Structure 1
Amino acid sequence: MKTRHISRKTALIIAMGLCASQAYAAEADALSTQVEALNQRIAQLEQNTAPSQFKNSQVSLYGSIRPALSYLDEGDEQTWDVRDALSRIGIKASTEFADGWQAIAQGEWSVDIANSGNFGKARQAYAAIASPYGQVGIGKQRPAQYTLVAEYVDIFNHGNSPYAYDHESPFFVDNFVTYQLVSNGLTFMAGAQVDGNKGDSNADMINLGLGYDTGALHLGLGYVTQDTLIDGNVGGDNQTLGGVAAYTFSNGLYVAVSYQDKQYNFDQSLTNADRSGSTLDTALAYPLNDEYKIKLGYFQFKDGIKGNDSADYDGFNTTLEWNPLSNVRVHLEYLDKSLENGNDDQAVTIGFRYDFNLTWQG
């Protein structure tokens, strides 16, 4: 009798287990069906979603803040003045849209620290397409004359550096169409300024440049031809041929020399107006240790004008730099500038420089 009672209980337990198993299996099948439907819906949404604009892209927000305090001695006047050594803030973005092909955009503006601290004029504002066959850009950009020649003597913490090149030569060019190709240590650059609001219907300026880099040596050549405007009309042209040689020795000593020959050509209505000028900029930098560096420079500008109207000048500068970090600089500079017609200038400047570059990669 007892055995029969146990058998009934066992049968009941087995029956309940079978029912529970069947119910669980049904729920599992339903859940699996729901998960599969959800996965299909997610896949459908992913296919319908537009690709992210940040995919295969890089965006950089960068800047360089460069305030300075100067004591200026201009012969008959001595003053203290807060100055700015070309502070700037910019943003640059690039997106790879095919193998070896990139779209590039950059905007950069000066920061007027010496006055109200407002954003100043645009330094660069352009868009470009880079490919294995070179880069083509349109907008306000650096010309070859600076990139391949003057930049290698532009090592000083001053808004007028390089001091001879600064007087008349281009740093940025607006309405500029450029082409650049880098291959096997050679860099070829060409640019044309096309501004329909001034001059004639042709290019207002053409700049060609060639650079060669091998190891610690850089050689650069640049040629510029630019219209001379007189009362809004083309009255001649300026032609500049310049070159630079720069080398860094094994002990860290850096030496660079840049020279430009400039021909001022005017039309026949201006008799005997043609003239020849030149610029000479030299730069030397030597690291005293990991944090301190000394810099020296000599410069000479000649405009080819005879007599009291000449703006010729020459001079030298020396700088002591302290670099506690790669993006932090403190400098003390002495500048002596002698003018052929006018008072000589001397200046002692202490300044700071803080660089930053924040980059996002997509």
Structure 2
Amino acid sequence: MIDNNETTNRKASVVLLGIGQVGRSLLRLIIDKNNNTRDGALIDVIGVADSHAAVLEGSGLSEARLNEALKIKDAGETLEQMRGYLSLSEITAALSSGTIIVDVTASNNTASLLASALSHGCGVVLANKRPLATAWSMAKVFFSHPYVRYEATVGAGLPVISTLRNLLSCGDSFISIKGVLSGTLGYMCSELERGATYSQALLSARNLGYTEPDPREDLMGTDVLRKALILARSVGWPLETDDIDVEPMFPDSLSNITVDEFLSKIHTLDEEYARRTDEARVAGRTLRYVAKIEKTKAVVGLSQEERDSSLGALSGAENIVIFHTHFYDTMPIAVSGPGAGPLVTAAGVLGDILDLDVHMRRGR
């Protein structure tokens, strides 16, 4: 919890990596907060970076410069269009102790930069799951360092990680974790339940903007796998990718073809998923794409769930995470709500920035 007395007239210095949909939503939230702050907590964005270039000003980028960056990125251009841009390799050298590095990219290549930032006294806030889901030998620093926050990596703006941490800080221990962690696949399962075919459900999700440009990135379950790894590692279970069995929602035979070819063939999956949906219905159940996590293993894939259960009652793109702990044994804790979207994800990141800034000031 943030103490308002400690945030009064304080400025958090932030470097933002990534100005996609989440990054732009975050910048707009920061601009709005700075103009309408109620608690005196301000945020100086001293740097922004995309995959091509960075713009850095130690005294903080002005609102005009931030809006310039937003306009450029809204137009699909790179930060190389801005005057005084730096190369990405110059970011690390410019970092100073107390700065918060915010990673809202989808890059596999930020882990070493973030680890270096921590070693120089910086804080790290992540919406990017990849540094947390890489090999444990590289990822473990992000789970043990007090200056790291990553609420938005699981459930977007939902208080999943903070609930987990609160349980641990109270001395509770975990037995298992179960959840629906993909808004895209949750939506598809709801559509199948309503009677849509697989191809109809997928195309509907795509038209609504729920899927990646290549929907196989959602359907292969890799994103859910990463979230399962993050949850497991957060409770002290250092699982690796090989410890998790993942069931994709399409066959290998449709892997090595173009997106257009894939979309032209998805109707061939209609019969299989209609059969699986009917089997669940006959049993009084419904299909959900579920992650089931235990101390030494996890399973990610389609599961038949009771219709009136917490998972079975979900609709649309809702997420849910259920914590089965020793304190909450007979009635596990559930956190549910919208688990995707740029704005709610950005809100989760902003909350982490403010919380971490207070924590870092206490430590200095």
Q: TM-score, normalization: structure 2?
A: 0.24
Q: Which has the higher contact order (CA 8 A, sep 6+)?
A: 2
User: Which protein has the bigger helix share?
Assistant: 2
Determine which structure has more spread, i.e. the larger CA radius of gyration.
1
Q: Which has the higher strand share?
A: 1
